[in-house]
Structure 1
């Protein structure tokens, strides 16, 4: 590929270029400045500087706004993380508290079970002792009743024997004693007194 020289585009006519150059380098003709939409290059530089400053000023505010928004979100996230840590700490504290309560409840339940067993054994022992005492009392009562019945029977037999003896004595005395023997007996008795 052959190298080509860069093409130059000019707005002046070919013959005018040399005249223009001659006038610019000490000739009488004035040098024409290029313009775009009626503004000279220094004005374009001023406008571009103004636009750059406006972008920097407002862009900085936008940057601050964006940064402030992001900082706000970061702060909100930090607050949520702190809240989550606090809630986690509370949850762990509650878990520990309830595990302690469960352990205490288990030991309390074991103690209650031991107490219930001890009370049951005491009740059984007391019931056995009470039943032995009851049996002994009933046995004594039965023996007392039997002894009372025996005494009553003996007393009744004695009373019947005494009545039978008195009846037999009357009969014998009635058969063997007459009036004369009776008076003699009375006289003996009176004399012995």
Structure 2
């Protein structure tokens, strides 16, 4: 019996022991368990990926909504600014018009008052001059009567 025969016998015994201890079944169940674990990990990874995609889509939607809301707020602020600018401009123009009218009224009143003062001063000067002339030229009762009549006439013309 040579060494090849004993190697064959050893191989058959080893194979028998492996089969008797059920190593192939244990090996198959270990491989099946590992395949199930890998399958579960793949399913979990797929679920997490889908959840991540869902969250990403939701955040992108929220981002778009926030941008649209920001654009709407900016547009509203621009409209309000334009409205306020128009209102302020109108109020300023109104204020300028009122102040201009008030100034023109004051100027007209000052002109009227100045004209009245000039007329009164001219009247006073005329009366004084007439009185001086009449005093020098006319005397007595006739002078008094003329003076009184002249003063009445000047007074009625002024009013």
Give the structure-2-normalised TM-score: 0.64
Aligned partner of 1:134 among 78, 83, 106: 106
- Distance in 2 (alpha carbons) for counterparts of 1:40 and 1:58: 21
Bigger radius of gyration:
1
Q: Per the alignment, do residues 128 and 104 of structure 1 end up closer, same or farther by CA in structure 2, a change over 3 Å counting?
A: same
What CA RMSD, in Å, does the superposition of the two structures yield over aligned residues? 3.2
Instruction: Look up the match of 2:33.
Output: 61
Q: Per the alignment, do residues 162 and 58 of structure 1 end up closer, same or farther by CA in structure 2, a change over 3 Å counting?
A: farther
Q: Per the alignment, do residues 133 and 90 of structure 1 end up closer, same or farther by CA in structure 2, a change over 3 Å counting?
A: same
Aligned partner of 2:10 among 36, 41, 54: 36
Higher relative contact order (CA 8 A, sep 6+): 2
Q: Per the alignment, do residues 135 and 162 of structure 1 end up closer, same or farther by CA in structure 2, a change over 3 Å counting?
A: same
Q: Per the alignment, do residues 41 and 123 of structure 1 end up closer, same or farther by CA in structure 2, a change over 3 Å counting?
A: closer
- What is the number of equivalent residue pairs in this alignment? 135
Give the structure-1-normalised TM-score: 0.55
What 5-or-longer segments of structure 1 have no aligned partner?
1-10, 12-33, 170-193
Cα deviation, 1:52-93, whole Å, max 9, x if unaligned, reads 221222223222322233233223322322221121111111
